[in-house]
Amino acid sequence: MTEPGHIDQQDGRLAIAGDWTLVHYATLKNQVERLAQAREPSPEGVDLERLAALDTAGAVLLMELVGAGPLAAIDDWAPDLPATRRALLRTLGEAMADNRPPPARPARPLRDTLARTGQIVEGLWQQQRQLLGFIGQVLATLAATAWRPSRWRLTSMVAQLHQTGLNALPIVALLTFLVGAVVAFLGATVLRDFGATIYTVNLVAFAFLREFGVLLAAILLAGRTASAFTAQLGAMKANEELDAVRTLGLDPIELLVLPRVLAMMLTLPILTFVGMLSGILGGALVCLLALDISLVQFLAILQRDIPLNHFLVGLAKAPLFAFLVAVIGCLEGFKVSGSAQSVGEHTTSSVVQSIFVVILLDAVAALFFMEMGW
């Protein structure tokens, strides 16, 4: 019943026949392009009597054959066509008559690469400036609200404490426990050759009190919470909620950022403490099962060999890490623009940046504490 669209050429006339629809687009397009090389687009000698079905795709091909202007004037040269057909062709011709395709951008590979490199470097520089500026803003707002308890957002802070702290507790405990066990195994294997397996206790305690407890907790929060902050604030930004906050005469930093930053600064030391405990517990378990060091012996060694200052050194880093992770998460949220892609980009960026900052600062701090002999 239906016949694929085609063009019959007879005595220099072009008879349009069959279904000119989307399904036959590719074959029709070939035919039309071959014809277009031989003749200028014009309705001259084009017969539409045998045209069966027609949709916009077919109409576009017809337009390439006859030109947009003549298509708009279809009533003059093909008045026998059904009214609906003519309406479609006329509408299309009118729409395309003064429509120019967007100018194609010439490709310049070398220039584009240079430009992109420049953009990335400039972007990195701007990012650091923005981060410093934002840290300043947060501190200024903190200083302004610290003396006015009526402006403390306690409810919001408690909600954030719940989400960033309590809900993260199990995963932090589990991961540090596992890493503690792994460190103990490593220590046992290496120290066995020296007949010093008993020092596995010191290794685990030393590592977790000074470095691993805080580092693992901070990295987990960077992945878990910084991304959540970015996505929350980013969605609010995209929905113009941040603008609404401003026009209501409220300060988004005071309302949204401070509770998050403060909650995080309270949360991370607690999580760090939990991380230290469960890391050491993991180590103790390995010592008990694989090295026959009893729990009592383990604790006795801890008490004898590990001074308090290791614990303090580890814990002291937590608020600083928490502050930076939270600030980076919030700032990236503020930088989101309307699109879904932008939310994704900034969430990624916030996690990468905060993990980077945490590890970098931890390395610097390790050097510093070592030089100070703490």
Partner 1 sequence: MSAARASRNDAPLIRVRGLANRFGAHSVHEDLDIDLYPGEILGVVGGSGTGKSVLLRSIVGLLRPSAGHIEVFGEDLLGLSARDRSRVERRFGVLFQRGALFTSLSLQENVALPLIEHIGLSRADAEALARVKLALAGLPGDAAIKYPAELSGGMIKRAALARALALDPEVLFLDEPTAGLDPIGAAAFDRLILTLRDALGLSVFLVTHDLDTLYTACDRVAVLSQGQVLVADRLDVVAATDDDWIHDYFHGPRGRAAHGAAHPVEEP
What separation, in Å, do the N-terminal and C-terminal C-alpha atoms of the chain show? 91
Q: Which is nearer to partner 1, 90 or 224 (CB)?
A: 90
Residue 229: name the closest of 314, 138, 145, 363 by CA. 138
Residue 102 CA to residue 29 CA, distance in Å, equals: 21
Residue 151 in the binding site for partner 1 (CB under 8 A): no
Contact with partner 1 (CB under 8 A) among 88, 205, 358, 365: 88
Q: How far is CA 104 from CA 61, 110, 219, in A?
A: 22, 18, 46
Near partner 1 by CB under 8 A, which window of 100-108, 120-128, 137-145, 313-321? Answer: 100-108
String of contacts with partner 1 for each residue 298-337, x by CB under 8 A: ---------------------------------------x
Q: Which is nearer to partner 1, 64 or 251 (CB)?
A: 64
Residue 60 in the binding site for partner 1 (CB under 8 A): yes
Can you read off the two tokens belonging to residue 208? 């977790």
Q: Which is nearer to partner 1, 102 or 249 (CB)?
A: 102
Are the C-beta atoms of 357 and 254 separated by less than 8 Å? no
Please state the closest distance from residue 341 (CB atom) to partner 1, in A.
4
Residue 277: name the closest of 256, 302, 252, 305 by CA. 302
Contact with partner 1 (CB under 8 A) among 10, 12, 76, 100: 100
Residue with tokens 């100018």: 103
Residue 148 in the binding site for partner 1 (CB under 8 A): no
Q: Which is nearer to partner 1, 23 or 235 (CB)?
A: 23
**Residue 224 burial (CB count, 10 A):** 16
Binders of partner 1 in range 3-32 (CB under 8 A): 21-23, 25-26, 29
Q: Residues for the chain: how many in total?
A: 374
Please state the closest distance from residue 29 (CB atom) to partner 1, in A.
6
Please state the closest distance from residue 54 (CB atom) to partner 1, in A.
10
Please state the closest distance from residue 92 (CB atom) to partner 1, in A.
6
Residue 157 in the binding site for partner 1 (CB under 8 A): no
Residue 235 in the binding site for partner 1 (CB under 8 A): no
**Strand arrangement of the beta sheet that strand 13-20 belongs to:** 6-10, 13-20, 46-54
Residue 116 CA to residue 10 CA, distance in Å, equals: 56
Residue 5 CA to residue 237 CA, distance in Å, equals: 51
Contact with partner 1 (CB under 8 A) among 74, 81, 92, 256: 92
Residue 338 CA to residue 343 CA, distance in Å, equals: 8
Residue 370 in the binding site for partner 1 (CB under 8 A): no
Site size for partner 1, by CB under 8 A?
30
**Greatest CA separation found in the chain?**
108
Provide the angle, in degrees to the nearest 10, between the axes of the packed helices 56-66 and 25-38. Answer: 10
Residue 106 in the binding site for partner 1 (CB under 8 A): no
Residue 271: name the closest of 164, 157, 360 by CA. 164
Near partner 1 by CB under 8 A, which window of 9-17, 170-178, 292-300, 340-348? Answer: 340-348
- Applying CB under 8 A, the residues found at the interface with partner 1 are 21-23, 25-26, 29, 55-57, 60, 63, 84, 87-88, 90-92, 95-96, 99-103, 337-342
